[in-house]
Amino acid sequence: MTAETLFKIPARIPEQRKVGMVSLGCPKALVDSERILTRLRADGYAMSADYAGADVVLVNTCGFLDSAKEESLAAIGEAIAENGRVIVTGCMGNEAEVIRARFPAVLAVTGAHQYEALVEAVHEAAPPTQGPYIDLIPQMDVKLTPRHYSYLKISEGCNHACAFCIIPTLRGKLASRRIDAVLREAEKLVAAGTRELLVISQDTSAYGVDVRHEERQWKGHAVRTHMTDLARELGGLRTPANEFGGGQVPWVRMHYVYPYPHVDAVIPLMAEGLLTPYLDIPFQHASPKVLKAMKRPANEAKVLERLKSWREICPDIAIRSSFVVGFPGETEDDFKYLLDWLEEAQLDRVGAFRFEPVEGAQANALPDPVPEAVKEERYARLMEVTERISAARLAAKIGRTLPVIIDEVGEPDEDGDLGATGRSQADAPEIDGQVLLRDVPATLKQGDVVQVLIEESDAHDLFGVIA
């Protein structure tokens, strides 16, 4: 009896079905895409890097703003034109009738984080070919970010009822993940090479409210499902030991942090070096009248006091935020109030959005809409102010030596010199600035954290050399 007879090896192992993915929207949607692909990979599917090689293409959509919806519809149209076999998921999946009216050829439409329905649709469109040979492959999580940084989603949904937002409609009320599960995932990511964890949710400060901050056992002690407990435990993680030493504290960056009182408790962790000195706080506006119309907290004076206190505790803390200009009813006085507030707050990183009506949002019914030309003029003025503030704050770093995480090492130039691109602790990937390095050693690689002497700056980026 031959080995072929004994094991009944077929003449040809069937090829794996391949799935393509187009992921749009925020980092939270990117995490959804990673989970979807991880599940499909466990079911025996391979990933396709292009339309031509895919048996079916998934489009993970964004439906927060009308402009995002148009981008999603354009992506669906491109996928149909290039491949023809398309399944739509994500936030815009709640508007299945709109998608099907525009693209009748779409195979299936599922909503945000409806993983089971999506996987079932993929199985129907391209039945998996897995067998005893594919089943032997160990399951591995799929990452859509570089190896050295990872998004860590701690909850889904939101309990706020902001007048301009439809997130609770799209993704439901707050649903927090078990803290032991979050910490286990974080530990696994760091062990696999992640040097920077980006904590994300719709409202990181509210983590655990829905489960009354229940306690779970972790490493022999109880931890609450609470932002401060989470931050403290994440600050206890260490990179794996290797020939270069290891045992370093990974960068832990907190996003979407509403300025609830307990946020004050994480600032000392930043001062101690256990948490990256960075907070992403969605202020949205400063005028009490506009904030009230937005149905947002409106104690802007106390926020300024807290910013000052945070900087006294942790001088290197970087604050990023985003603001809406042209909200219905916003007057010139309201806008000037915002500009004056920004001058005093001296935020490190600022993004701005022109108000855009979103179908289903309460703000659409508010009186006194701001003309589009006025929105554009105010947006330009806000950007001018925040760019000037950013340039001054970055210039103050010239001459300092800062830790920088390397995102990319370039190719040698005509003289054989290498450059690299990285980020300081004040810079989140994709949304903030960069640190551009000259004359780096050939041994430098992506994910390394190096000390950099800052030599120059502009309105957004820093320039330097490894110290």
Domain region containing 323: 283-395
pLDDT tens, residue by residue, 262-274: 999 999 999 999 9
Classify residue 79: in a domain, yes or no: yes
Which pLDDT score, from 0 to 100, does residue 240 have?
Answer: 84
pLDDT tens, residue by residue, 36-74: 888 888 888 888 989 999 999 999 998 877 788 889 999
416 and 383 both lie in a single domain: no
pLDDT tens, residue by residue, 412-431: 887 778 899 999 999 999 89
37 and 129 both lie in a single domain: yes
- Give the containing element (helix H, strand E) for 297: none
Which of 365, 395, 425 terminates a domain? The answer is: 395
pLDDT tens, residue by residue, 142-172: 777 888 999 999 999 998 888 888 778 878 8
Classify residue 3: in a domain, yes or no: no
272 and 155 both lie in a single domain: yes
Classify residue 4: in a domain, yes or no: no
pLDDT tens, residue by residue, 187-224: 999 998 899 999 999 999 999 999 999 999 999 999 99
Q: Give yes or no for a contact between 319 and 347, defined as CB atoms under 8 angstroms apart.
A: yes
The 10 Å Cβ neighbour count of residue 420 is: 24
Which pLDDT score, from 0 to 100, does residue 74 have?
Answer: 93
pLDDT tens, residue by residue, 376-407: 999 999 999 999 999 999 999 999 999 999 99
How many domains, in total, are found in the chain?
Answer: 4
The 10 Å Cβ neighbour count of residue 102 is: 12
Q: Give CA separation, 421 vs 57, 177, 249, 290, 408, in Å.
A: 32, 34, 21, 39, 5
pLDDT tens, residue by residue, 295-337: 986 666 689 999 999 999 999 999 999 999 999 999 999 999 9
- Give the containing element (helix H, strand E) for 139: none
19 and 131 both lie in a single domain: yes
Which of 136, 162, 192 terminates a domain? The answer is: 136
Q: Give yes or no for a contact between 372 and 337, defined as CB atoms under 8 angstroms apart.
A: no
Which of 114, 68, 77 is CA-nearest to residue 94? Answer: 114
